Amino acid sequence: MKNERNPIDRMKNTALWLKEHPIAILLAFSLLVRFYNIDSPLIGAHSWRQTQTAMIARNFQEHGYMFFYPQVDWGGNSPGYFESEFPIYSYLIAPAYEAEGFGEVWARFLTILASLCGIYFLYRLVRNILGERIAVWSAGFFALLPLQVFYSRVVMPDMVMLASMIAGVHFFNEWLGQERRKHLILSALCVSLAGLIKPTALHIGLPLLFLAWTKFGKGMLFRKALWGYAAGVFLPVALWYYHAHTIRLDGGLSVDMSDKWGNWDLVLTAEFWNRIVFQSLAERHLTWAGFIAFAVGLFLKRESVKEKLFDAWLVAVVVYFMIVGMGNYVHEYYQLPFIIPAAVILGKVYGRYFNWKEGRSAVKWSLIAALLLISAAGVWRYSVYMQFEDEESSAELKFASAIKNQTSPSALIGLMARNDPTLLYLSDRKGWHVTMEHVANGQIDSLVQSGMTHLVGADRYLRQGEKSIVDSVMAKYSKITDKDGFFIYTVGEGS
């Protein structure tokens, strides 16, 4: 008993346990690096998407947690009901908004927790198929590639989606091995959740079909459990998005996504693939050194049939790129699902060919050099993104403060910011998105009659010559401020 209580023995036992469980070290380190700037306000890269997610959470807290009727802040004098993805992420962070300043911190922490779950389940999945060594490397790349770190601490549901996809495949693989019903149910729940958060996540069906084929062959078509599984995945997704669409049909708000799909004229251009493959995947997601290592990994020998799961996964992602062409062309975070199979392919390169004991092996030193370049490029890329979250230099925060100071909490503002809701969220005001068409077509007066009290905007969202048009149309109203690239007009009562 004395030996067990000896601090030195405890340290030795802990060190031995950590050596046998390297995933614990990886998870702890991943948690640590993601804590940096966890209390940052929602500014910087993709603040429009983050604030849209966060304002739904804040409205849940303010208006009674009506899960089936998410609300946004640009509904003007309407409730602002929104045709949204399944709002489970916003719903879970909503209670934190009862404590001032804690909402964003808890939201980021929830994203971090989801990313850690994704890392862990990827490790489990790869270990079952390719062994411990490759699993650790794969999980390491998935955890620490630069944009993985950045997007795993933002206020967006994408990490919950990725973790659900990975867990879904893991549990499905477990079911194929043991045929225990609980694994199939857990898989269906996870995959369905991923599809509820983003229907594009259902491209994961191709890897799942591949796994089923490896187990049952053509017989999979006659397995009742698989048909029940498919129904369990697709039915909740179909029901939610039918309900969400009825919100729009009943006069609710929506973000038009029709231009993000089926852009075949774009997909069939060299510019599309240059932007996706080289400018986004190679330069930002993997870094160039990581992209070269990934390209090498594509030609490694597959040592088992099941290993080809990750090839099927990669093919599924490419198909998804083509179907959601414009979405991927415009937004880099649309490519986050690519990192799952890419991390495994990188993990195979390092897991099979990196060995400290090989002395002066050219392969070893080449892999070390690549790893150093990936790390250096990753740190630089991450630091660039974090610069945009600097509070002292943020023009949005300063202007949001001005809006708060110049308007009452009940004010309804018209925001000219190209449908970017960031200022609405930061200023904690509700109102309308106002475009140049509203100004040029004389619709400002009708918005005033609907209750708009202020028109606010940012010069950078206006094209050349448009600011003079705004000033001309708004000349009959009182201008509160027009400096530092922002302007505020008082246009109605209740200011």
If you search the block for the tokens 């009742």, which residue do you land on?
224
Q: What are 195-227's pLDDT values in tens digits?
A: 999 999 999 999 999 999 999 999 999 999 999
| Token duo for residue 132 | 């411990």
182 or 2: which leads in pLDDT: 182
Per-residue b or e along 298-313, where b marks 16 or more CB atoms closer than 10 Å to that residue's CB: eeeeeeeebbbbbbbb
Q: What are 399-438's pLDDT values in tens digits?
A: 999 999 989 999 999 999 988 999 999 999 999 999 998 8
Helix 339-353 × helix 309-323 angle, to 10°:
150
Instruction: Pick the closest to residue 397 from 271, 282, 491, 484 (CA basis).
Output: 484
Per DSSP, 412 falls in state: E
Section 299-316 average pLDDT: 96
Q: Is the pLDDT of residue 1 over 50?
A: no
**pLDDT, position 352:** 92
Residues 6+ apart with CB under 8 A from 364: 353, 354, 355, 356, 358
Per DSSP, 278 falls in state: I
CA distance 141 to 210: 24
Q: Is the pLDDT of residue 51 over 80?
A: yes
Q: Is the pLDDT of residue 468 over 80?
A: yes
Q: Is the pLDDT of residue 442 over 90?
A: no
Instruction: Pick the closest to residue 142 from 341, 402, 388 (CA basis).
Output: 341
Q: Is the pLDDT of residue 107 over 90?
A: yes
Percent of the residues in the chain that have a pLDDT greater than 90, as a whole number? 75
Which region, left, alpha or beta, applies to residue 76 given φ > 0 means left and ψ of -120 to 50 means alpha?
left
Q: What are 5-44's pLDDT values in tens digits?
A: 677 766 666 656 656 678 999 999 999 999 988 999 999 8
| Token duo for residue 31 | 């948690």
CA distance 47 to 63: 23
State how beta strands 430-433 and 454-458 pair. unpaired
Instruction: Pick the closest to residue 337 from 151, 109, 182, 473 (CA basis).
Output: 151
To the question of pTM greater than 0.85 for the whole model, the response is: yes
340 or 477: which leads in pLDDT: 340
**pLDDT, position 15:** 59
CA distance 189 to 88: 13
Q: Is the pLDDT of residue 258 over 60?
A: yes
Q: Are 420 and 457 in contact (CB under 8 A)?
A: no
Q: Is the pLDDT of residue 494 over 80?
A: no
- Residue 441: pLDDT band (50, 70, 90) is confident
Per DSSP, 457 falls in state: E
Q: Are 434 and 455 in contact (CB under 8 A)?
A: yes
DSSP helix/strand/coil, 492: coil
Q: Are 103 and 56 in contact (CB under 8 A)?
A: no
Long-range contacts for 180-183 (Cβ within 8 Å, ≥24 apart)? none
**pLDDT, position 2:** 47
Amino acid found at 158: D
CA distance 13 to 11: 5
If you search the block for the tokens 């804040």, which residue do you land on?
58
Q: Is the pLDDT of residue 483 over 90?
A: no
CA distance 226 to 92: 31
Q: What are 61-72's pLDDT values in tens digits?
A: 999 999 999 999
